[in-house]
Structure formats: structure tokens, C-alpha cells
Structure 1
């Protein structure tokens, strides 16, 4: 039986991840601030991961085979986690994001080495505690968090760079609802003048991937994305199936005003590393109709 800790994991693919770990026979410890209880059978530790003493006190003498950090957004959080879990775990898996590639303007699918966290400058003095600043610098926060973990060669970390996630009735983002509302009313959908495709992953698939990563032995960054890219037009076509009375209208606008899942630059990730390591991804175009049906609460 493995000892696995999950920091966060109270919603969306985090919940599914915990279910998979427990189904596999792992003893799972969920660490959060107490806002939500974990599934029955999981150990629950209440701590503020932003407070080093709080985290240390909650953990006591516990050690883990794997820690999966679902809610590390800043280098400050990474610094605390690295200090607290050094010597406590044989493997530390951080959920990162495709947004770390926000400055990599390439039409080709981007590989992990496009952003080497060993070369990323870390600035702990930036206002990471300001929600507006953090929201506006989401990719930078994740980049710098990765840099903190990789700065210690003895710390066995993995950064799972997650593609845009779709699917599930519990998708809390409202991004597909944005398209549903506009298609239903015929209101224009704002997109950049040159609208690039992106890679995506189904909510069940990313839970599978994280559970698989927990049991693997590789380290460093790894891209997690289904095969194939999807365009905004393809997403809208899948939504429009469920809004037959609607009309899809696109309008070119400035980048800052664009709709979700429309991009002025490419957000396509190369998943070759994970594939070579042994994970079998699905095809985005195959699961897209079901993902949209799930989120919109439709039968497909």
C-alpha cells in the first residue's frame, strides 16, 4: 500500500484523482484548509499551505511515497512545500499548466524543453498574495513555482503541464456556457483576427494521467494533452449540436476581448515524452462530443 498525499483536490479532476488512488488501494491523505471533506476512507489534514508552521504541524512525523500538489500557484508556495516535504516524500508531483508556454510563439506543437525551469528567474517579492496579480500572472506563477522545485536537484519533482481541460458535469469554469449562451441568442463570439488552435485533455483523462504519474519514476516537466488540436470553431460546432435553434456568429476583436478557448497564439503541446514513457492518450476529436454533452448536462 502506497502512502499518497494530495494537496487540494477538492473539485473537478482533483476529486477524480483521489477516487482513482483509493480504488488502486493507496492510503490517501488529503491536505486542505478544511473547506471541504475528502471522500470516506481518506485521511484529512487541515492546514494552510501558505503557512509553513501550519503545514509542518499538521503533518507531524508523516512521510509519503508520493505527494500530488494540485494547488501550487506561486514560487512562495513552492518554497514552503519544498522545505516541508524535503525528506518526507520520494516523489513530488506538481500540477502545472500549458500556460507556462505563453511566451513561446510557435505554430509547432511545443515540447517540454521550450521552457526549462532551471533557467527561469524567481522573484519572491512580487505580490503573489494579491488575487488580481496572481490571476493576471497565472502562467508566470506556475513557471516560477517549477523553477523553485527544480533548483534542488535532490528534490524528486515532476511538473505535469496540463492542457485545457474539458468535460464533466462539474466543470465550474463556465467557458462552454459562454458559447452556449451566445449561440442560443445569436450574439457574436469574439475571437482574435488570427485564431489559433490548442491542445485539450478530457477531465477523466487528466485524472488518469496524474494517477499514472504518481506510480511512475520519471522526473521533470511533462506535457499532458490528448492527441490532436481543436479550434474554436470545432468547439462551437460541438456546442451547436445541443442548441439547434441557435446561430453561431464570429467577430474578430482585439486579443484582450476574446472569448475563452480562442487564442492569438498557439497553445499546442507535444505529448511525445509522456507517450514514450508509456501513457496512451486519447484523440481529442473523438471525445469532444461527449465532453460537451457532459458539461451542458445533455445526453449524447
Structure 2
């Protein structure tokens, strides 16, 4: 039986990934800070991954066939994980935001991002700095793992909608548009790639049992702009044009993922319009 360690996996689509792996008959262990209990049938270790000594103590002599790292945001966290964890393969949940410096007019392929030199001296522990440098933190974390000896894959996840979304980003639109208020958008909002929480959970569970390495983009087919999302909420959405501080999912650059590598590896994504109305209703009821 394949032994899998999931770092994080306590909320949103991460918990569903854990349940899917368990239901496939894998021997699953979750490691997090203990704020939420693990699903039934899943082993639970409690430690702060930023505390290297505590992480070592919690893991003891355990080794795993695969590690799925849901909560790696910085090169410092990646370096600690490389030193402490023993695994046959390492899968990191990354983000579409690694392409935040790319300016393209065609869907973005994985090859557009080269390795980013890790800078361990930056204040990665500062929450404001980390939020402002989210994409860079993920790029550097990917590099730390990629240059190691353990086979490594990174899943660059599109913007996630639907399910038990704690971020409140889609609810931001539902609440304002349902009330007849305008939402703030760029003068010419550009499209991006989105994925339903249920589908990205399925993809990550599939990625754990696969054997590919390297980066892979993950998102539903069919690009969406903020205007498309607003129209799925209200037949006559109201907008307010701004130069700064636009609402979530309003982008001033083309930010669409090319998911042909995932398709070539054998995973078939849905089309975003298949589930967008469902995600809107879930946000409306939240």
C-alpha cells in the first residue's frame, strides 16, 4: 500500500484531496498544526512545518512513497522540508501566480518560467511581505525542490472557485451584485483560468499516484474574465472602472494557462462554464 504524507490538507479543497486519497486505499498521513482534526481513517501528526526541530520530532523515522505539500509558500519552508522529509517523490501545490511577471497574448506554458534563484535572506516570515511576493515565494520554493535529488512535480493551480471557499472572493461579487452595487474592475479586464475546488482536488489526488515530474498547469478549459463571472451572477451587472485596487479576479494582463501538458499526461479537465453557475450558487448560500 502506497504511503502518502499530506502537509496541510485541513481545509477547502485540501481536505477533499486527503479524503480522495484515503478512499483510493492509500495509507494517508496528514501533518499540520492541529487546528482541524484529520478525516477518519487518516493518521494525524501535529507540528509547525516552520519549526525544523518540531517537524523532525513529529516525523521520527517515518518515510513515505509520496509527499503532497499543500502549504509551501517560501524557499525557507522548501529547504526545511528537503532536509527533514524522506520521500520517494515530492509533489508541491503551486499556483498560477508564478506567472505574475509574464506578459503574453497566448496561453502560458510551463516552460515560460525558469528557475528562480532562492533568496533565503528575504523576510519570508513577515505576512505582509509574503502576501506581496506570493508568486515569487512559490517560484523560489519550486526551485529549491527541483534542484534536489527527490523526483519532484509542481502543480500550478488556476484560480479556485466553488466548494467551501474560505477566501470569500466569489462571495465578494455575489453580495455586491445581488444588492445592485457596482464592482470595481480594470478599464479593460483580461481573462484568466479558473478551476472548481472539486476538480482541483481530483487532479491533485491523481497527481499523487502518477509518476510525472516537473511543473504542470492545472485548470478548467475555457478562459473567464471578471465580466463573465459577473454576468453569471447578475443579468445586468454594474461596474466601476478603477486604475488601482480592482476587485478580485479583475486582471490587467492576459493570464490564461495552457493545460495541454496535463491533457497529454492523461487528465481531462472540464469546461469552466460546466460548473460556474454551481459555484455562484454555493457562494450565494455561504
TM-score normalised over the length of structure 1: 0.93
Matches within 5 A, 1:100-249: 100-117=98-115, 120-152=116-148, 154-168=149-163, 170-240=164-234, 248-249=237-238
Q: Please, what is the CA RMSD of the aligned residues?
A: 1.2
Structure 1 residue runs of 5 or longer lacking an equivalent are 242-246
What number of residue pairs does the alignment pair up? 286
Residue matched to 1:297: 285
Moved over 6 A (4+): none
CA shift, 1:252, in A, is 1.5
Equivalent pair of 1:182/1:248 in contact (CA under 8 Å) = no
Equivalent pair of 1:157/1:220 in contact (CA under 8 Å) = yes
CA shift, 1:140, in A, is 0.7
CA shift, 1:138, in A, is 0.6
CA shift, 1:199, in A, is 0.5
TM-score normalised over the length of structure 2: 0.97
CA shift, 1:297, in A, is 2.2
Q: Distance in 2 between matches of 1:109 and 1:137?
A: 23
Q: Distance in 1 between matches of 2:59 and 2:175?
A: 46
* CA distances 1:255-296 after superposition (whole Å, capped 9, x unpaired): x31000110112200000010000011011121111212222
Equivalent pair of 2:174/2:280 in contact (CA under 8 Å) = no
* CA distances 1:158-217 after superposition (whole Å, capped 9, x unpaired): 11000000111x111111121122213332211111210010011010000000000111
SS at match of 1:90: strand
Q: Distance in 2 between matches of 1:184 and 1:206?
A: 28
Q: Distance in 1 between matches of 2:79 and 2:135?
A: 17
Q: Distance in 2 between matches of 1:80 and 1:7?
A: 13
